[in-house]
Amino acid sequence: GQNIDQPTEMTATEGAIVQINCTYQTSGFNGLFWYQQHAGEAPTFLSYNVLDGLEEKGRFSSFLSRSKGYSYLLLKELQMKDSASYLCALTTDSWGKFQFGAGTQVVVTP
């Protein structure tokens, strides 16, 4: 099975940078995803890593180290609309079968 850990909550001010860490233990690996979920809404795709290294996509970047079972999501130039839950999700076999972490609630303050 898998075990995925991420912090419960993080607070940062508008314009700042926040890094959300995700550690995992797994016997198989087929990709690590980050999703954003606003309260009461569906998760929306942010990033995907299958190889080690950094993937940059505008204000969001995601990093993966498979040997360390570690990923992070970096949110730059925080905006109020970035207040949401951020979900780390692992897929180990067929596409669309995820093991999700419990989510990190990011609160952006003025």
C-alpha atoms less than 13 angstroms from C-alpha of 49 in its C-beta half-sphere: 24
- Contact status: 52 vs other proteins (CB under 8 A): no
- Contact status: 90 vs other proteins (CB under 8 A): no
- Contact status: 14 vs other proteins (CB under 8 A): no
Question: How far is 51 from 102, CA to CA, in rounded Å?
Answer: 23
Nearest to other proteins of 14, 41 (CB atom) = 41
Which span sits near other proteins by CB under 8 A: 11-19, 42-50, 63-71, 73-81?
Answer: 42-50
Report the run of H or E that residue 49 belongs to, with start and end: strand 44-49
- Contact status: 44 vs other proteins (CB under 8 A): yes
Q: 18 has which bridge partners?
A: 75
Question: How far is 43 from 52, CA to CA, in rounded Å?
Answer: 24
> Which one among 24, 63, 72, 98 touches other proteins, defined by CB under 8 A?
98
The least distance separating other proteins from the CB of residue 1, rounded to whole angstroms, comes to 9
